[in-house]
Each structure stands twice: as structure tokens, then as C-alpha cells.
Amino acid sequence: MTRSGAQSPASTDRHVITREAYGTDAHLAARQRLYQAQHPRHDLPAIAADHLAGANGIVADIGCGNGWYLRHLRQHRPDLVVVGVDLSAGILAEQRPPLVVADAQALPFASGSLHAVLVMHMLYHLPDPDTGLRELARVLTPDGTLITSTNARADKRELDQLWSQAAADVLGLPEGPHRISLSQRFPLDDAPARLARYFDDVRLVHLPGVISVTEPAPAIAHFASYQAWAADSGVPFEPTLARAEQRLTETIERDGAFTITCQSGMLICRTPAEPRT
């Protein structure tokens, strides 16, 4: 199976998103924790806030999850009205208002009413990211700012290899299926061209880093956070998780650490004066 073959239809399924994957922030938080060991560490909410220096009025964080960006913006930009939006009511439970439960593809905002939107690590959950991009262009003011983020195809490739090897062991095959890769529906590699269909002045900020894990737990918790999509993984999930932990433990005992190469990025663009069709 190719890497692109590991896109999960369930990664866009509303029921899976709202009940299993993001019913609470447990799985998202497990993925966020892995980045605490990244070098260099990137303060993503601060980087996004820098690009909102000229913004005023209403800013919406669409797919805000557990509010990492919301908290930073509300603390550092009290002059803005920062609205958190997510498809999952459950993940918004701990957030402060204003909050809206809504689908990024049909936003309950008037056309031209938002001065900026954030859509961080989220567009790849849409069945058709272009539908979402058109909707975002609609709700933004002319010359409004859109900030988004995603991962490159080669992001965390060492984890992909580890999972495939573990899956191969479990299945008794020379090569196992790739793990579910959410960002493949909207990878960083393609994002500038896709955004340029609807927005002007697309700028890409690369955010590379390396994570060196010296114990298996954070990487295994990262794998386990994909449990909502286990049925699409093409392999018994729990046994593969256990085998990956064995392999990772052996690697760390032998080499002292397991290195993961991160390739993500943030994109900043502007709404054109005249909407594109």
C-alpha cells in the first residue's frame, strides 16, 4: 500500500470526529505532547499571532480543538474578539466563550464578517478541503487574513516506518500497511498551490524539527491516539501497537534514542479584493 493509500475515509467522518477522535481532547493532547520534546520548539500560537499584527475585529479559530491558539490570542490580543469554532461540542467543553459548534464547510457567519481565520491542522479533516477554502474566503473580509498549518508528506517518516514494520511482523508479511496519515488529504507540499486558487499573497513558513525520544511512551501514545481510525488501518491495532513498542524499546536500548524528523509548516494568505470562483 502506498503512503497516499493510507488516507482514511473515516478521518473525515463526522461521527468518528465528534464522538471518537475529538469527543474529548485526550487523543489530540497525546499528539501535542510528543512535540514537547522537539528541537527547535516552535511556539505556533505566537507565530500565528505575529501574522495577525494588523488584524482587528473578529477572528475565528476554526477547528480550534482544545484551544491552544485561542488561549494565546485572547491573552495577547485582548483587542480582538476571538471566536472558537469546532465540529465537536465535546472538545469545546473546557473552553471559554465565545464558542460555536459548526462545520467549517457551512459556517454560521455572514459573508465578509471575519477579519482573520485560523484553520490549524484541520483542513485535512474535510471531505473536500476546497469546499472549506471557498467557505473561508466567503466569511473573510476583502484583504482578510487566513492562517493554516499542516504536515508535509515526509513528516515523522520514522514513525511511519516503525508502524509498517510492526504491522508486517503482526501480519507475517515482508511489508505492512502504512499507518493512517491525516494530513495526506491536505499536505504541506501541495498547500501553497491549493490556497492560491482562492487567496492572494500565499506565504509558507517552514517549521522543521527533530524529536529524540529516549523512552517509548510518548511515541506509543502518539500511535494510540489514532485508535478512532483503527478499523481502517488494515492491521489488528492493539497487537501492532504492542509490537511497535517492543521494536522501539529495542532500538532505544541499542542506540540510546529514537529520532523522529518533523516537517510541518504554517501558511499565511489574504482574501482577494474580488472573490474567485
Please, what is the angle between helix 217-224 and helix 237-255, to 10°?
A: 160
Among 7, 8, 88, 95, binds ligand SAM (CB under 6 A): 88
Mark the segment that binds ligand SAM (CB under 6 A) among 34-42, 59-67, 134-142, 205-213. 59-67
DSSP 198: T
Residue type, 255: D
Footprint (CB under 6 A) of ligand SAM, residues 187-246: none
CA dihedral 106, 108, 112, 113 (to 10 degrees): -150
Contacts for 25 with CB less than 8 Å, ≥ 6 apart: 65, 66, 91, 94
Cα–Cα distance between 154 and 109 in angstroms, integer? 36
Instruction: Draw the binding track, 17-56, toward ligand SAM (x: CB under 6 A; -: no contact).
Output: x----x-----x----------------------------
Mark the segment that binds ligand SAM (CB under 6 A) among 109-117, 119-127, 151-159, 193-201. 119-127
Footprint (CB under 6 A) of ligand SAM, residues 62-81: 62-65, 68
What is 122-156 written as a DSSP string?
Answer: -GGGSSSHHHHHHHHHHHEEEEEEEEEEEE-TTTT
Residue number, nearest CB to ligand SAM: 65
Instruction: Draw the binding track, 95-114, toward ligand SAM (x: CB under 6 A; -: no contact).
Output: --------xxx---------
Footprint (CB under 6 A) of ligand SAM, residues 120-149: 120-122, 125-126
Cα–Cα distance between 99 and 226 in angstroms, integer? 26
Q: Tell me which residues touch ligand SAM (CB under 6 A).
A: 17, 22, 28, 62-65, 68, 86-88, 91, 103-105, 120-122, 125-126
